[in-house]
Every structure is written in C-alpha cells, then in structure tokens.
Structure 1
Amino acid sequence: MANIVNLDRVSKGYGAAGQLLTDVSLGLEDLDRIGVVGLNGAGKSTLLRLLTKTEEPDSGRVTHRRDLRVAWLPQTLSLDPGATVRDVVLGTAWLDEGFGAEHEWAGDAGVRAILDGLGMPYLGLDQPVGPMSGGERRRVALAALLVRTADLVVLDEPTNHLDVAGVDWLARHLVGKRGALVVVTHDRWFLDAVCTTTWEVGDQTVRSYEGGFAAWTLARVERERVAAATEARRQNLLRKEIAWLRRGPPARTSKPRFRIDAANALIADVPPPRDSVSLQRLATARLGRQVYDLTDVTLKAGEKLILADLTWQVGPGDRIAIVGANGAGKTTLLRLLAGTREPDQGQVKVGSTVRTAYLSQELAELPGELRVLEAVEEVARRVVFGDREIAASQLAEMFGFDDRRLWTPVSDLSGGERRRLQLLRLLAAEPNVLLFDEPTNDLDTDTLAALEDLLDSWPGTLIVASHDRYLVERVTDVVYGMFGDGQLVHLPGGIEEYLARAPGHAAAAAGRDRVGGAPAVATTPDGAGTGLSGGELRAARKELTRLERQIGKLEQREATLHDQLATYATDYNKVAELDGQLRAVRAEREQTEEAWLALAEQVPES
C-alpha cells in the first residue's frame, strides 16, 4: 500500500456555516475504501472538496502523489444542456479526459455493463442531457466517471436516484474496481457493502474507525460506554484522592481498548426492535379493522400501465415496503393511497378512522417566516407516540435540532434540515397511517437512526417506498415488488428475492465477473464458496475455538495483573515488574485476537 493523498493540519470554515474543520491531519492510501459519515452540515462535502483539491484550505496543506488521477462526483453537477450522452460519457463534455473512439461505446463490454447497471440501457447516444430529469443527468455523470480509469474515486451521495437494483450493482462494481475510494452516502447498507474504513466528521475533526457502518456504530457505542465508565471511575477516585496522595502515586492504568467481549456485552440484553403483537393491538384500537381496500384497481401514468386489476388489502399495524425500479410506479401508488390520485378503474376504500401523513420526495412549502420550534408547534405542542408523550422541542431534538438550531429561521435551513422539519411536522400531526416516498433523501445517518427508533414504537400502519435497503429491512415486515408489468408482487424473501427477480438483474450480476465487477460469492455452512475443503473447514473451526479459549485466558490474566497493580500501588519495584508482565500479556492477546479475526473471515458461521 502506498500513500496517495495527505491532509496536514487542514482547517476550513465559511462565514454562515462557521468553522467546519480544524487542524485535521489524514492520510489516504491507494487501496483504502472509506465511507464518510456525519450530521448534515458537519463538513462531509467540504472534506471531499479538500481531498480532490477543488477547494483550498484556510490553513494547512493538501498534497497529492505526482500524476494522481482523481475521478470526482460532486453533489451539484454542471452539465452543458446541449451536450449529448455521447459527449458526457465518452467525450470531454464534463470530465477532462475523453474515453476514446465512438466505436468503443459499442465494442467495450465494460461501458455497456455500466450503463445497464445504472438503469440506462434506454438512453441513446444522441439524446441531449438538457431535457433529462436530475436523476438521469446524475446517472449519466456517474457512468462517465466509472468508465474511466482512476487512482482515486471520490463520490458524494452516489446512490441518490438509484433504485435497489442500481445500488446493489454499484456496490458490487466498486468492490471490484481498482484504486482508492472515498464516498459520502446516507445509504448504510451501501457503506457496509463497500467500505472497510469509516471517517466520522464532527466537532471540527475527523475520526477514523475500522469497518463499515455496522462496525462504526458499534465502535461509537463502545466509545460512549467507555466514556461513561471512565467518568464513573473518576468520580469514585475523587473521593480517594487525598488518601492516595498520602500513600504515593496511584497505579498506572492502561488505555481502554475495544474488545470482543465488550462488543458482546453491548448487545447481550438488547430487546427486539419492536413488540409486533402489542403494536398490532394498539393499531387496531386506533384504526379499526379497515385501512385500505383496493378492488380491481387499474392505474395509469399517462399511457404507462402502473397497476392492472389489483385487489389488495392493507390492515392496521401493517409495515409494508414497496420496491421497484425508477419509473415502476411506486410514487403513483402512494399518491393513490394518499388520495391525491384517483384510479382509472376499480375502487379504493379508506377506513373511516384513517389519518394519513404523506411524505413526498419534494420539499413541501414551509413557513419561512417562522423559526424551527415555532414551525413544529404550529402543528402541535405535544405529541403522543405509542405509549409516550413528548414535547415538540423534544421531538425536534431527536431529529438533530439542538437548542441553538431550534431558533433558526426556517428560511436559513439547509436542504437536509428542511427535509427533517418537513418530517417533524408530519409526525407532530399524530397520523395513524404513514406513507413515505424515499424518506432517506437528504437525511444523515444519525437522523435516520432517530427516525427508525421512533417508528419502532409507533403503532400505526406504515407504507414506505425506498431504495434504502437498511431502512426497508429495519422498519418494515413485508416487502412488495413492482416490476413494471402492472402487478404488485408479495416478496417473502424481501430485498434478496426482489433482486433475484428483477428483470435483467441476474444477467447483469453474471456479467459483472467479465467486465471487472466483484464476483458474487455465496458462503454456506458446508464451506461452499469459502475455498476450503470439508477437512480444512473443520480444522479451521477447531483452531477458532482454541483461539477463543486462549483469548479468554489472556483476558483473565490481564484482569489479575490490574488487580495486583492496584494492590502494590506503593511498591514501585513491584509495579514496574507487574507493568512489564501486563504489556507482554496485552501484546499476546492482541496478536491472538488478530489471528482469530483473520481466520474468522475465512470461516462461515455454522
């Protein structure tokens, strides 16, 4: 691995936003796969602009390896409206480097695979980008970036406007693409699938963690747990401080480290995310027996058939996900349920007690003359969610509006903050049916976690159309697919079944191995896909068990040495001897843990 980018004591701020980064020092190597997370407005996009040298820091220095090739997808694109797809993808209408002769468009399988994977096989070479939707223009720009060879690929929200199959394809493609990768995205499944390191931007600094979103979440919880335990120990030590000073200096303590048993302790007693039976009972009490009954419904968008003779029933407490390609009709279906569209044929019956809240993809008009808290209290001052009542200010705080931001004028909010406020106002109205159309757009990971936590105890009916795989699997119980054939198909296998049945997706997955994408390797308990024979697999599992026992013994030895250090705190010679033993035991434990982790990656769970 070789270093390709360095940030040395970099600081950056803006007048209105204030200071975002202060004395940040980072290094990027040629094989790094980094996901960048943080609250809206924390400085994630600013960090990317500094990495790519599209902006200069206020102080400090950003250096690139000589002749470094950087491919950069910003959030805001400036494409010439008169340029064609050919100009952008193959030429130099957006990127400085042209792809080559036109015949390579038809002759290069990699180019065709990228366009198909991003859901653009219908686009012609001569189609101008001006009349395209924002999502289509963004996918054309992403295709132009992916067909080129780069040492560093930097992507700012690349999954926006991609459907579930497109996100899955992009993840697999990037895993198999050579070079370094830095990506900002709210898609947590994508972060886990692609990234091996996570950078957390916040408090004017950048913290680095090993692993993707799941590992970062666990590490952050562990960091908070250690901080709480450290504070408790500090309070206890204060009471003994005078006595210790009289007896001599206290024993030296080691810096706390993340351990496997600590991670297990974090999740050992975690309750299930929601009590489905209780929520169903509450939902029935609030909603009655009928929510939506669709009978022989036919629905069109212009000449396009969305639903054909659909009969479908949605009951109280149902938590449903609608997945499908862009243009399949998910938004049109939600508008039908929300009452803003009428069916072309058939009947839609809505329960008499239904109070619907519809979160569309567009930013609704917000009262710009009000402040954030006033805009929420305009709807309700107190909100009942499940079995708990919370004030409007508490609800706003859950969604990232702290005391300072509560009094910010709505007109001064960023796009992500306005999206959060739009969601807050819907929830404050205490609906019993939620219709969400791509609710994760413009929301950071912390806000998404707060929304999911709130929905866990919400006893109404939820129907969400989303390409966010993490959200779908986290908050819904049933998945329906729309495949563009006028049917709404129940998918007991969830997202995996949708991907297996999506038209062309299986063929595209098979073709990825031929054009540089990551092969799909399915691991099974009998060792298929692991590269290990049955005997080797049994030996590996036996070695894992031995290493686990060894780690447990070393941890017990480490704890004993800590106790002895405290006992002999005033005996400097003994302390030195015990400290040496502790260092040796800790080093052996770390080596054993590394051996366990390396072996565990090769052995599937039994």
Structure 2
Amino acid sequence: MNLVNLESVSQAFGPKPLLSGVSLGIEQGDRIGVVGLNGGGKSTLVSIITGELKPDSGRVTHNRGLRVGGLSQRDDLDPAAAVRDLVLADRAEHEWAGDPAIREILANLLGDIDLSAKAAALSGGERRRTALARLLIGEHDLILLDEPTNHLDIEAIAWLAGHLSQRRSALLVVTHDRWFLDAVATRTWEVVDGGVERYEGGYAAYVLAKAERARIAQAAEDRRQNLMRKEIAWLRRGPPARTSKPKFRINAAEALIADVPPARESVELLKFASARLGKTVYDLEDVTLHAGGPDAGPLVLDHCTWQFGPGDRVGLIGVNGSGKSSVLRLLSGMVAPDSGRVVEGKTVRLAHLSQELVELDPRRRVLETVEEVRKYVTVGKKEWSASQLLEILGFKGEAQWKVVGDLSGGERRRLQLLRLIMDEPNVLLLDEPTNDLDIETLTELEDLLDAWPGTLVVVSHDRYFLERVADRCVALLGDGRLSMLPGGVDEYLERRASGAALSARAASAGTATAPAQAPAAAQVAVDAGLSAKELRELQKELNRLERQLDKLGEREAKVHAEMATAASDFERLGKLDAELREIGAQKDSVELEWMELAERLDSTSS
C-alpha cells in the first residue's frame, strides 16, 4: 500500500534550489536511508514528507488516516513537564508497566533518567533520548528520523537498530552513521544536486551501485571514484574485527577491487611510524584514574598497565560516562593519574581533538586560519597544501574564503581537525571526530588517515568509522581495565550483554531468601539443580579463564612492542606476525570457552 507520494516537488531557500522536480513514493514496509551532503536538502525532504513544510511547487499526498511519527534534530519538549508525562502521556501505570514493549524502550533509552525529572533539568543527550522514547512508544504507520543516533552510545545505537528492524512501521531515516544505515535500511536515497537518486539495499549496496554507475558512465571525477573503490575494497577485505560483511553482489565487487591495494600498507606505515616515534609512545604503569580527580567521580582505571606503541591504531569503546574522554585527557597530559605514572616518549608530537570547539578568530578567513599553522604538510609519501586539504574536508572553492565567524558548528569542527593535522603530529587523539560530518567528508577523512603513519587513538560512536580506521579495539567495561577486543564492536556488545546477564544473576542471588542454615550461593545452586560444590567449581574455572586471557593480553602487548623494535627486520616481523596470529587464535578459543561457561552460569539463575 502506498503511504506518501511526492509529485514534481521543488523547494528553494534563497537562490539555491534544494529540491527540483522530485517525484517519489513511500510504500508500506519500506525501510529507507537518506544520505547526502550537509545542507543538500535531506532535512528539507523529511519536513516536506511530514507536512511540516509546504513545497514551493508540486504536490504531496498522504494515504487517508496515515499515522506519521517524526524525530527532528530539535525537540519540542515542554521544559516544565516531567519526563514521565512527556513520554507516557496519560497512560495509567498498570498499562505501561504491564507492556513489555514499553518497558524495553524505557530500559534502553531512559534507564538512567529519573522519570519524575523536569525536561528543563535534562542534558542535550537526555532530551534527545526522551524525545526518541516518546516517539517509539507510539503507534505509527510511518516513522521519520533525522539523525536519531546523535548523543547515543554504541550500545544504544545497536539496540535502536534492532528495535527498528522489528517494527512493522515504514521507516525513513536521515543519518551519517553508515553502520546504522546498513543495519536498518533496505533502500537508500541520495539527495544530490536537487534530485533524489534511489538505490536498492543499505549503505554498502549504495556504495557499490554508485561505483558501478560511475564506471559505466566513465565519470570524470577520478578521485571520488577511486575513494569509492577503496571503500568497497575495505568492505570486502576489512579488519578481522568485522566478522560479518554485507552480502551484496560479491562477483561484481571482486571485479571492481581486483587491482585495488589494501587500504593501509601496515608494515610500511609501522616502519615509518617507528622511525618518527621511536620505541615508546605512551606506557601506562600501574595507573589508577577517577574521572573527577583523585577519589572523585567514577573509577576509570584501577592499577592498569598498558602500552600504546608506534603505529598503533586503537579504537576506544565504552558506554557514555565510562571514562573514554578521561583516558584521552590522561594521555594528553591534561589530567594526572591518581596513582602510578604515564611515560611519554621523547619524540611524541601530540594533537588532541576534544569534543569542545577551540576558540578561533571569527574575523579570519578559513584558508588564512589553516595557513597560519603551516602552508604544506606531508601525509605518508605525499605533500599536501593547506588549500588541498581544505578541499578534501569539504571546503571547496569559495568556501575557503568564508569568514570563520560565519561557519556552522560542523564546519568549525572540520577546521579544528585540519589545523591539528597541519601541525604534523605523530600521535592523534580523536574524541568523537565524526560529529557533524557528512558521509562524503567522512570517507575523505578515512582516506587521509589511511596514509597517516603515526599512533592513533579514537573515541567514536560511529561504528563504521571506528572499524574503518582502527586496527584493534579496546574497551572500558567498568572493571578498571583496558580490555582487548579481538572481535571488535561485536565482541564488545557480547561482553556487555553477558556482563548484564551475570549482574542480573548476582542481584537475583543476593536478594533470594535462603534458609538460615544455607548461604545464598548454596541456595542458588539448589534452585538450579547444582550442588554448592559444582557452582564453586564453575566460578573457579571462570576465574582461571579470565587469568589466562590476561596473560595472553600481556603476551600480545609484548609482541607488539617487539614488532616496533624490529620494524626494519622484515624476516623478524614475519615471525612476530605469525606469533601474534597464534596468540589471537588462542584468545579466541579461550574467550569462546569463557562465554560458554558464563552462559551456563547465567542459566543456573533462570
């Protein structure tokens, strides 16, 4: 059944037409992802579809009785209203408390928010989650979401993708989060040059189809086409952490990437990074760190020992508030550890992109602001001018002569990142670098970072970007440690789910009413059909596996250090690489055994 039709719709703001003669439709069951440049008309298209904006010309028709729900980039929450009233409206408590679907939405989006709190007291992220929960609790035939993943952490984004995939509503979503697009969309619309190009499949299929169209038409934009092919090459050959690649036109993809080199020449970059950085970058030695200073705020690191070596490309993962930004501030020297020490290499030249925008002279022009840092910079083997890099990051032509005071927040963030790169650092700490960047700019940034040979530590809620630029992932799981994740984000989500299940079991065991003569653990064992001794043996085995994982992690770190030392000895590097793969295989085996045992323990409480 057809839900919405647009016929010859045009819309312009000032002299620039955003939509010109667009005709399209949304049918029942459609799951559409919308992509395009910032300012290209994506939000305008959504506003026209919802009826909030009347087009300059053309016609928009809705199916009679159509129930439309929308989430814009700005919420309309009444600041004096309580969260409960905003989200649940006039539903009686027994009505929503007895509905498992509503309870799931509240638990995953508002679990840490007091439902009696006023909207005026909420942070920007909490307001966003409140508006999203209010929308999802309602019944709709068509849901339109404009950047729904803003302010959500990786775990919440994964839940939202699963939730939307199970709903019967038609869906149209505007987002720069490419992983999210692949997870929820079965069709992709690209808003470009006043029109809407349509593709079957999610982001991965869109990338391939667009590359094929460009190849057939022999498009003149060689650089954009090469980037597209490189993106496809990564999708097919990507890092080991990417355990499930999109299933789309494998033969066509192989033909396109047959002559495409790997995204990064890892050995060559490691050699170059070692030459520039030496053996030591950052060594954390028995470090304890609280987010708010000594013994204040949440505990982030507890007697943690870790090494960041030359050429390491690390993605740092954790829930919001776990201390990711605190770890970056620790490495940058902005905060000191409560105890222990951080050893910084003598040759480290640091650039730290924080979430706060630095103050720039609003009277200066964009190009002048970059050239005052440096006019030319070498990335990998290529020399770039300030103007060339500005073009790569979206400041094309006359945009380089805009006054800084006229830039949007996203443009200022791109400018800040470029100034950092122009200072020729050999260590990059990036805290949410993808905020306010469109997909084309993200792709250009990823390509630039591919050739950058230094040490990279990146915090990002953009799963696609994280897996694209990082070679390994490390997590803050709330236990005071930095935990290696050979399985990347998928493993992180599995560990979080397993940890939540174990916590629930422990809570259940702690609140159970046991006979006076038996300890709580023994009571749980009896309830599960296990003896207290069997339960203790299972827990003992779980602890043994965790110690074994710690030892394998230490061996892995040692091999990484030896690889940095032997950067010029390719025969030695080959042996070390084989040893690293063997350690990885052992860790996979032990982690699988740990997961099976944890699930068995968890099942004893059900």
Residue 59 (structure 1) aligns with: 57
1:298 equivalent to 2:288? Answer yes
Displacement of 1:261 after TM fit? 5.5
Give the letter for the 1:18 counterpart: K
Superposed, 1:126-141 pairs within 5 Å as: 126-141=116-131
Using the alignment, how far apart are the partners of 2:144 and 2:196 within structure 1?
17
Give the letter for the 1:10 counterpart: V
Residue 181 (structure 1) aligns with: 171
Using the alignment, how far apart are the partners of 2:281 and 2:331 within structure 1?
10
Residue 286 (structure 1) aligns with: 276
Determine which structure has greater relative contact order: mean sequence separation of CA pairs < 8 Å that are 6+ residues apart, divided by chain length.
1
Give the conservation status (yes or no) of the 8 Å contact 2:35–2:188.
yes
Residues 125-134 or 164-173, more deviating: 125-134
Using the alignment, how far apart are the partners of 1:485 and 1:115 within structure 2?
26
Displacement of 1:490 after TM fit? 1.1
Residue 253 (structure 1) aligns with: none
1:10 equivalent to 2:9? Answer yes
1:39 equivalent to 2:37? Answer yes
Deviations 1:522-568 (A, max 9, x none): xxxxxxxxxxxxxxxxxxxxxxxxxxxxxxxxxxxxxxxxxxxxxxx
Residue 467 (structure 1) aligns with: 461
Counterparts in 2 of 1:262 and 1:488: CA distance versus 1, 3 Å: closer
1:22 equivalent to 2:20? Answer yes
Counterparts in 2 of 1:230 and 1:138: CA distance versus 1, 3 Å: closer
Residues 323-332 or 260-269, more deviating: 260-269
Q: Which residue of 136, 144, 160 corresponds with 2:134? A: 144
Q: Which residue of 84, 90, 97 corresponds with 2:88? A: 90
Among all aligned residue pairs of Structure 1 and Structure 2, give the percentage whose two residues are the same amino acid. Answer: 60
Superposed, 1:130-529 pairs within 5 Å as: 130-228=120-218, 262-302=252-292, 303-503=297-497
Displacement of 1:88 after TM fit? 1.4
Residue 114 (structure 1) aligns with: 105
Give the conservation status (yes or no) of the 8 Å contact 1:323–1:466.
yes
Residues 336-345 or 385-394, more deviating: 336-345
Using the alignment, how far apart are the partners of 1:11 and 1:342 within structure 2?
56
1:101 equivalent to 2:92? Answer yes
More helix by share: 2
Displacement of 1:259 after TM fit? 8.4
1:123 equivalent to 2:113? Answer yes
- TM-score normalized with structure 2 length: 0.75
Using the alignment, how far apart are the partners of 1:402 and 1:372 within structure 2?
11
Give the conservation status (yes or no) of the 8 Å contact 1:196–1:210.
yes
Using the alignment, how far apart are the partners of 2:255 and 2:261 within structure 1?
13
Displacement of 1:195 after TM fit? 0.2
Displacement of 1:484 after TM fit? 2.0
Displacement of 1:262 after TM fit? 4.7
Counterparts in 2 of 1:89 and 1:461: CA distance versus 1, 3 Å: same
Give the conservation status (yes or no) of the 8 Å contact 1:222–1:263.
no
In structure 2, list runs of 5 or more residues that go unmatched.
Answer: 223-247, 505-606
Residues 136-145 or 373-382, more deviating: 373-382
Using the alignment, how far apart are the partners of 1:414 and 1:493 within structure 2?
37
Using the alignment, how far apart are the partners of 2:356 and 2:31 within structure 1?
32
Displacement of 1:157 after TM fit? 0.8
Describe the SS at the equivalent of 2:173: strand
Using the alignment, how far apart are the partners of 2:133 and 2:207 within structure 1?
31
Residue 594 (structure 2) aligns with: none
In structure 1, list runs of 5 or more residues that go unmatched.
Answer: 92-97, 233-257, 511-606
Give the conservation status (yes or no) of the 8 Å contact 2:113–2:126.
no
Counterparts in 2 of 1:231 and 1:162: CA distance versus 1, 3 Å: closer
Give the letter for the 2:275 counterpart: A
Deviations 1:218-265 (A, max 9, x none): 111112111217999xxxxxxxxxxxxxxxxxxxxxxxxx98765432
Displacement of 1:286 after TM fit? 0.7
Counterparts in 2 of 1:151 and 1:311: CA distance versus 1, 3 Å: same
C-alpha root-mean-square deviation of aligned residues, in Å? 2.1
Residues 438-447 or 223-232, more deviating: 223-232
Displacement of 1:10 after TM fit? 1.1
Give the letter for the 2:37 counterpart: L
Counterparts in 2 of 1:127 and 1:231: CA distance versus 1, 3 Å: closer
Using the alignment, how far apart are the partners of 2:348 and 2:107 within structure 1?
41
Displacement of 1:391 after TM fit? 0.7
Using the alignment, how far apart are the partners of 1:470 and 1:452 within structure 2?
11
Using the alignment, how far apart are the partners of 2:95 and 2:372 within structure 1?
59
Using the alignment, how far apart are the partners of 1:261 and 1:327 within structure 2?
44
Give the letter for the 2:438 counterpart: D
Displacement of 1:105 after TM fit? 3.2
Counterparts in 2 of 1:146 and 1:422: CA distance versus 1, 3 Å: same
Give the conservation status (yes or no) of the 8 Å contact 1:364–1:422.
yes
Give the conservation status (yes or no) of the 8 Å contact 1:483–1:503.
no
Using the alignment, how far apart are the partners of 2:495 and 2:455 within structure 1?
27
Residues 121-130 or 22-31, more deviating: 121-130
Using the alignment, how far apart are the partners of 1:174 and 1:38 within structure 2?
22
Give the conservation status (yes or no) of the 8 Å contact 2:2–2:63.
yes
Displacement of 1:363 after TM fit? 2.3
Counterparts in 2 of 1:463 and 1:228: CA distance versus 1, 3 Å: same
Displacement of 1:213 after TM fit? 0.5
Give the conservation status (yes or no) of the 8 Å contact 2:21–2:58.
yes
Counterparts in 2 of 1:172 and 1:227: CA distance versus 1, 3 Å: same
1:81 equivalent to 2:72? Answer no
Displacement of 1:507 after TM fit? 5.6
Using the alignment, how far apart are the partners of 2:219 and 2:425 within structure 1?
40
Q: Which protein has the larger Cα radius of gyration, Structure 1 or Structure 2?
A: 1
Describe the SS at the equivalent of 1:82: coil
Count of aligned positions:
474
